[in-house]
Amino acid sequence: MRIVFIAAECAPFAKTGGLGDVVGALPQYLRALGHSVMVVVPRYASIDAARYHLRWAHGPMGVWMGDREEWCAVHVADSHGVPVYFIEHEGYFNRWGLYHDAHFNDYADNPRRFGFLTRAGLQLCKDLNFAPDVVHVHDWHTALGAAYLKIWHWNDPILGGAASLLTIHNIAYQGKYPADHLPYLGLQWGNFTPDKFEDNGALNLLKGGIVYADVVNTVSPSYALETRTPFGGHGLAPYLNAKGEDYFGILNGVDYNTWNPQTDALIPARYSAEDLSGKAICKRELQRRLDLVVSADTPVIGVVSRFVEQKGLHLLAQCIEGIVQHMRVQFAILGSGDKGLERYFGTLPARYSGRIGCYVGYNEELAHWIEAGSDFFLMPSLFEPCGLNQMYSLKYGTLPIVRATGGLNDTVQQYDEATGEGTGFKFDEPSAHAIYYTVGWAVSTYYDRPHHMQRLIRTAMAQDFSWERSAEQYVQAYQRAIHKKRAG
Ligand code: ADP
């Protein structure tokens, strides 16, 4: 099969979250299964061209938008045998932020930027003579690709045979913008109807993508069910339900080349389930690095997260001080985003010296240190399409404390206090109370049932969420999309 990914992120080049991880990893595993894959992403200012050996590939390339022609250049880099093409457009992508400026203000021209990226990705297929069997688009940024194939390219010799798969990594982000972008995006006003792109007078790019895509998936089975309901669907449940069996969940895989305590070059010491002595070193070094009291027998709870409402950190903010006041426990926090949360968590180390460590910012190495050096990993998400950190935590023997939602529910098995079975601690209620008491449960297990801790850690480290299985499920999804396209 020939597959083209068009996406706003691709690790390691440009990533803000799980979308980047998936687009960075899945193509490699598809390639290992014998498929031919290429990836198209923007060339953002933050991408280090020298480090990744970017080289000129094509251009100038003319891209027809709805009402004008735009020009760009195309560079390429190799990612484990997969060509990743970078669309260079000075006006659209030569900025440091992927989606917003330094003050977290969304760029007003985002629909044009990503509409252009999507069109450029399709144009590149034509220019490279790469006739895809499937165009795999991701989130609202490139959801338009599914519509373009049917509206513009249905009889094109290169693109006319391509089916589309749209993956929703987070339905809360839908790409809602004023309708006056429609002509530039090349969507006739006939598409601005409630059954396609129109949403309460605005343009909703994800909605239109769902309607036009041959097949739609999201990143965990539980999240697929949740998004079919009025609350979880953020307004799009009816359109997902209309897809019937052509909407389902495929759990994200983990890139164990990057996230594996036995081989991780970023952490202070390596370790395995058989020999956890390296984990003790990682804990000590983490405590030193974040100015925590160095203590082998005080449990450390790690948090690595975007600071956004979805992650439930405003609930943690309501109970974290109570937790450190009443329990012998430490926190190692890494994150950035909401300025109020940054200020709140960023000032806690000064007030709870040696007990709470916090680094505000994005730091890949520290994320690995926290995974390796913590005893527990807290994710109190209000909703979580898949979540990667809890899967990394399992591999690092760092027991997840999670709200039982979406992918968190699918990947963490509840601790059974009677038997010691399970891999983590789950709670249902999205409240500070529930976080407080579940953290208390985990901490009491640490102190009072060390034999259960050992068993939980061993079971957690034996979990396997490798990409191989997910990649095979994606191949089945592509086959379904192709079948649907041919039948249609
Ligand atoms: P989401 O995609 O919603 O942010 P995921 O758990 O799926 O959540 O993926 C988060 C990814 O981003 C993980 O790889 C995590 O380590 C990383 N990450 C998030 N915030 C930071 C940060 N401040 N520094 C380093 N890595 C981060």
DSSP string, 363-420: -HHHHHHHHHH-SEEEE--S--SS-SHHHHHHHTT-EEEEES-HHHHHH-PBP-TTT-
Residue 74 sits in the same domain as residue 90: yes
Nearest to 82 by CA among 140, 52, 22, 39: 39
Torsions phi, psi for 346 (to 5 deg): -65, -25
Q: What is the mean pLDDT of residues 302-326?
A: 96
Is residue 190 domain-resident? Answer: yes
Q: What is the mean pLDDT of residues 414-436?
A: 98
Res. 71: pLDDT tops 90: yes
Residue 413 sits in the same domain as residue 449: yes
Is residue 260 domain-resident? Answer: no
As a whole number of angstroms, the distance between CA 72 and CA 197 comes to 27
R_g (Cα) of the chain, nearest Å: 23
Is residue 265 domain-resident? Answer: no
Is residue 388 domain-resident? Answer: yes
Confidence at residue 223, expressed as pLDDT on a 0 to 100 scale:
97
Confidence at residue 270, expressed as pLDDT on a 0 to 100 scale:
98
Torsions phi, psi for 12 (to 5 deg): -90, 5
Q: How many domains does the chain have?
A: 2
**pTM reported for the whole predicted model:** 0.91
* Residue 305 beta carbon below 6 angstroms from any ligand 1 atom: yes
Percentage of the chain beyond pLDDT 90 is 96
Q: What is the mean pLDDT of residues 359-382?
A: 97
Residue 115 sits in the same domain as residue 74: yes
Nearest to 277 by CA among 268, 288, 287: 268
pLDDT band at 104 (very low <50, low <70, confident <90, very high): confident
Residue 15 CA to ligand 1 centre (angstroms): 9
| Helix 339-351 vs helix 313-326: crossing angle, to nearest 10 | 10
Alpha helices in 33-97 (DSSP H): 90-93
Q: What is the mean pLDDT of residues 443-456?
A: 98
Residue 203 sits in the same domain as residue 243: yes
CATH number, domain with residue 432: 3.40.50.2000
Q: What is the mean pLDDT of residues 134-149?
A: 98
* Residue 17 beta carbon below 6 angstroms from any ligand 1 atom: yes
As a whole number of angstroms, the distance between CA 97 and CA 106 comes to 9
Res. 169: pLDDT tops 80: yes
- Of the residues 10, 257, 306, which should be mutated to test ligand 1's pocket, given the most ligand atoms within 8 Å of the CB? 306
pLDDT band at 257 (very low <50, low <70, confident <90, very high): confident
Ligand 1 atom with the smallest distance to the CA of 390 is 6
Residue 407 CA to ligand 1 centre (angstroms): 14
Is residue 7 domain-resident? Answer: yes
As a whole number of angstroms, the distance between CA 368 and CA 20 comes to 17
As a whole number of angstroms, the distance between CA 252 and CA 22 comes to 7
Res. 342: pLDDT tops 80: yes
Residue 355 sits in the same domain as residue 377: yes
DSSP-derived secondary structure for 111-157: HHHHHHHHHHHHHHHHHTT---SEEEEEHHHHHHHHHHHHHT-TT-T
Is residue 335 domain-resident? Answer: yes
Q: Whose C-alpha lies nearest to ligand 1, atom 10? A: 17
Residue 249 sits in the same domain as residue 303: no
Mean pLDDT of the chain: 97
Res. 403: pLDDT tops 80: yes
Residue 320 CA to ligand 1 centre (angstroms): 21
Res. 488: pLDDT tops 80: no
Residues in the chain: 488
Cα angle 380-315-449, degrees, rounded to a multiple of 5: 50
Question: Residue 189 is part of which domain span?
Answer: 2-253+467-487
Residue 120 sits in the same domain as residue 233: yes
Cis peptide bond N-terminal to 60, omega within 30: yes
> Which tokens go with 344?
């709140």
Res. 219: pLDDT tops 90: yes
